[in-house]
Amino acid sequence: MKSNVYESQKPLKESYRIDPSLAMVIDHAKTTGKNASDPFHSIVEPMAGCGVSVPVGVHAAVGGLHDAPTPGDLLCAALAACQDSAIRMVANLMEIELIELEVSVTATADVRGALMMDKLVPVGFQQMKCEVKMKVSDGIELEKIERLHWAAQQCCVIQQTLKSPPRVDTIFVM
């Protein structure tokens, strides 16, 4: 039985073999906050034209109101969504039926770094934890489930990006 993922990826893989430049994609997001002078709120549009806008707030630990998802929450959401997608796609390719799947991500930061209180405290998360609760159909061998776990982590773009971060350039335009 050919899976849906296999069928949808087959022509893509063939075209990428012929022309690897076709495999290059660009994801994007932009903020569109209406009141630039509001220090605690903004709106992020995760994909131009998708019709989705996510309110963004500032964490209470750095003086914000924490009345909307923070950038850290969105980073956790990105990892959870990517890990979830990777597990679903790999399970489909391996013909493993998922009965239940829930991915939870937590991230821990010492905010003294962000508040520039201590030069020895790094700005950013010091630890992230991804917990996957899943149930598969009966009769799937443990070895096959372990291969699913490994493969899903290997092809999770967000997880792999966090493990080996790219260079980030910021350009200010006035």
More confident residue, 3 or 143: 143
Q: Is the pLDDT of residue 68 over 70?
A: yes
102-156 pLDDT, tens digit per residue, is 999 999 999 999 999 999 999 999 999 999 999 999 999 999 999 999 999 999 9
Residue 28 phi/psi, 5° resolution? -155, 160
Model pLDDT, residue 96: 96
Question: Is the C-alpha dihedral spanning 89, 94, 96, 97 positive or negative?
Answer: positive
C-beta of residue 40 within 8 angstroms of C-beta of residue 66: no
CA 70 to chain centre: 14
Segment 39-67 mean pLDDT: 93
pTM, rounded to two decimals = 0.92
Those residues whose C-beta lies under 8 Å from the C-beta of residue 31, and which sit 6 or more positions away, are 42, 43, 44, 45, 56
C-beta of residue 35 within 8 angstroms of C-beta of residue 56: no
| Model confidence band, residue 49 (pLDDT cutoffs 50, 70, 90) | confident
- Give the tokens for residue 164: 């080996």
Least confidently predicted of 37-51, 122-136, 152-166: 37-51
Domain 4-163 top-level CATH class: alpha beta
Spatial CA neighbour of 155 closest among 91, 71, 104, 100 = 91
11-21 pLDDT, tens digit per residue, is 999 999 999 99
Spatial CA neighbour of 74 closest among 63, 82, 65 = 82
Structural domain boundaries in the chain: 4-163
Eight-class DSSP state of 167: P
